[in-house]
Amino acid sequence: MTSLMMTPRRRRRAASLAGSSPSISACRFYATSTAVSLLLREEEMGLAHKRHANIDREAEPVEERALLLGVIIELVVADDREPLDSFVISCGLPSNVGVDSHGRRWRSDYRFLTSSTNTINSTAQYQDPSLPSQIPYMSARIFTSPTTYKFPVSSETRHWLRLHFYPSEYSGLDPSDAYFAVHANDLILLHNFSSFITAQASTQAYFIKEYSLLPIQSGELSITFSPSLRHHGSYAFVNGIEIVSMPEMFKPAKLVSTDRFIDVGSRSLQTMFRLNVGGQFIEPNKDSGHLSRTWYNDSPYLLGVRSGVTSGADENVTIQYPSDMPRSIAPVDVYSFARTMDPNASANQNHNLTWVFLVDPIFTYVVRLHFCELELDKINQRVFDIYVNNQTAQETADVLAWTGSRGVPAYKDYAISIADGRGDETLWVTLRPSVSKQPEYYDAILNGLEIFKVSSDDRNLAGRNPTPSDMLLKDEARKEFSSSKINHAPIIGGVAGGAVGAAFAVAMCFVAYRKRRQDDGNDSVTRSWLPLYGHSQTTASKSTFSGCSSTLSSLRQGLCRHFSLQEIRHATKNFNKSQVIGVGGFGKVYKGVIDGGTNVAIKRSNPTSEQGLLEFQTEVELLSKLRHKHLVSLIGFCEENGEMIIVYDYMANGTLREHLYRSNKPALPWKQRLKICIGAARGLHYLHTGAQFIIIHRDVKTTNILLDDKWVAKVSDFGLSKTGPDLHQTHVSTIVKGSFGYLDPEYFKRQQLTEKSDVYSFGVVLFEVICARPALDPNLPREQASLADWALMCQREGNLESIIDPKLRDEISPVCLKKFVETALKCIIDQGPERPSMGDVLWNLEFALQLQENPGGGEHAAVEKANNAYAIHNANGILNPGEGSTSATADEIDDSSTVFSQIFEQKGR
């Protein structure tokens, strides 16, 4: 194999024989040689694998050779941008080749295993709706002992290595038991790593770890997966492996506020963040140079109210890379979009653009900023300073001074070391106008941003698993569990349903809940480069659970039912996996039968974890006191032998989302959809006004609206809920949590939570219901990716009716459609105070229903019937006397509600 690897001298010789440029013909010759060596290597490995009894034998040798010859042909015809090495491997794939939703071909992994002993190829028991494709995520390779993959690679280039993980149940194994390490030759990538914790913390069902590896001098990349010896029953797994050769794109980077430089080119790196600033999500198959990188939108990482404006290159601007900058640095789409500051120059003098990221301490990071001037054409028109963690990285940055012309890209690298502090470690990137230079415009610009972790001197890139922040722990500790009043602590309620997080992998990193883990020994556990949220998983002590038991014992007197563990085991057939109907952050949800025939939903936490202990306590007490037709009902709980189990009513028709899109279930008729929206609004209105304290749900979405056997809507999953402000407050200041796509932009920017944050999320739900599409769909064009943004754009352009679900267009009366859409639009106004209350939203949905049922009956009659429906809703114990909204006439609403005055004006015109 070594004899076939091309040296630079042979490459030049090949070019001269071919009579063409060394950069093209020699590259093709070299690629062919590499492919031939790959063929020989795989022949050898194939012979070795045949000695193992449990080898996968799905593919015939003829098919294997044909596939490899196809690789050779593809490499021969490739241009100079195509990588020398490209392995796209779906681990545990039952067939030899699979194709993902983007048309990328993934090959089976078994030929690259040095041993298939103690490995299992398995299929996930559950497909999360957020998965972008079944391949590579639905198949996995399980390792019960240290196992190595070997890949023949070029010894003269760096390589991207990407590891794909989808923590799920494989072959009956508990995903929370997967603790393992990963090494690439002698480089430590992951150590005592829990994919389960990482996925929970990031609110992502799947995630990717990406590394840039130094050239492998041996020409053979070994990737070893080793189950942890520190956790009983541990195993390792992986869903996909990508190895792509890459050009050298790292030069020495200057440490901020010093005269020292870091030789980045001599270190391996981990990609922490990669953002297309001001632009759209860029899929791997649209990256430059066939490098298959993913670029996310930057909006979730922006700090502060003034987030600037985004713009794209007009038709007169063509992106032209300078001769000394390879196109592989970043694709054209990155340089074609930018984020700049607000048009108000005087205001910009006192403001800045800031992005905030969570990173691992005790590492050095390289911050790469991408620039391309798209509008201006003179030096000193836009000059700004660059700061990293409030340290000066660059003074008087002027993109045109660097490039000489608009439309010409440039990039700058800055290095910074993050010390090991107490609690969350953050990395801030700030751009501020250089007032002292008196530029023509007080402004700043940025097109792209990447952050890379630099390997340590001992060749380590492993960080820590995510854990709750000090802020969260202190906040939760303050809120003691009390049976005399409703607790202020967050609650986890309802049956888990739908996807974990959004498909939009970027979500909100800097608001992550993480507390620095005090590990035993050298337990350096890694974190995902995806956004991090949620809670850690640690071993709970017996005293912890005994405290839980004693605290809840008072509830056994009638507020709710206390189940024995034996009853729960009998109801779930001893927690048989065939009874699992969902998986959430708290644990699995089972369908059970109690009392000889009553169906229930049983949510069980991981019995070896203390995660959710406080939430378990508060949820039991809170839901035992809150009873409402449109909230999921608590039946009882069990806290025996260290178990934390909650029993709810069974929702026979599942979640609202699965009846709207991406399922085989029949589409719901419009009137039924409208009634479901009304039911959900009633439940939220009760939370905001009917309890002793305002309760803000904070995670309103279509997967958290459940439907019973009679299609009655019930709000569920109160895991992120928060009690609202009292009479002396306008908001609650809290770390941002929620689901991207539904998140109130004002809450995100200011970290100030009000009940109007729920109103915004519910507005997105209303558009989901009428448009039958996800709140976020990164596969759509940029302007359509966010449902809320798309609806607002269509409304501005006057073609809002074009986004309506085609199945509904013949069902909805025009007057009903107008009221429904106007209500939804008011809910998603950026400024919280300008949004309606949930009581206003509920009234208007009742009004829309009356218009649908009696389109020719007149608005006064519809108002009267809506008032009656609203009054009945309040009379049924929904509101305490004197609290919340009241029914009204059309004229009263016109006088009192500035938000809806244009909707309810009944006077002659």
Where would I find the H helices in 662-716? 670-689
Map residue 768 onto helix, strand or coil: helix
The tokens describing 783, both together, are 């302007």
User: In this structure, are residues 104 and 284 in contact, taking their beta carbons and an 8 Å threshold?
Assistant: yes
What is the C-alpha end-to-end distance of the chain, expressed in Å? 87
For the question of residue 699 being annotated catalytic, the response is yes
Rounded distance, CA 149 to CA 240, Å?
12
Place of tokens 């053979």: 220
User: H or E stretch including 311?
Assistant: strand 309-312
Its sign, for the CA torsion 621, 624, 626, 629, is positive
In 3D space, the residue among 188, 236, 230, 194 whose CA is nearest the CA of residue 213 turns out to be 188
Instruction: Transcribe 233-285 into DSSP letters.
Output: T--EEESEEEEEEE------EEETTSS-EE-GGGS-EEEEEEEETTS--B-GG
Q: How far is CA 15 from CA 37, 77, 189, 668, in A?
A: 20, 15, 38, 65
One-letter identity of residue 80: D
For residue 487, give both structure tokens: 């607790």
β-strands 587-594, 261-262 pairing: unpaired
Alpha-carbon distance of 672 to 175, in angstroms, equals 38
Do the beta carbons of residue 678 and residue 629 sit within 8 Å? no
Residues in a beta bridge with 224: 148, 183
Q: How far apart are CA 399 and CA 409, in angstroms?
A: 9
**Annotated active-site residue in 699, 758, 777, 805:** 699
Residues in the chain, total: 909
**Whose structure tokens read 């030096």?**
379
Which residues are bridge partners to 429 per DSSP?
355, 388
Cβ atoms < 10 Å from Cβ of 865:
18
CA distance 578 to 303: 45
Strands across the sheet with 337-340, in order?
309-312, 337-340, 445-446
Distance between CA 445 and CA 372 in Å, rounded? 8
CA-CA distance, 137 to 210, in Å (whole number)?
16
Closest CA to 584 of 648, 525, 541: 648
How far apart CA 316 and CA 602 sit, in angstroms, is 61
> What is the Cα–Cα distance from 774 to 361, expressed in whole angstroms?
36
Residue 663: closest CA among 497, 789, 783: 497
Residues annotated catalytic, as ranges: 699
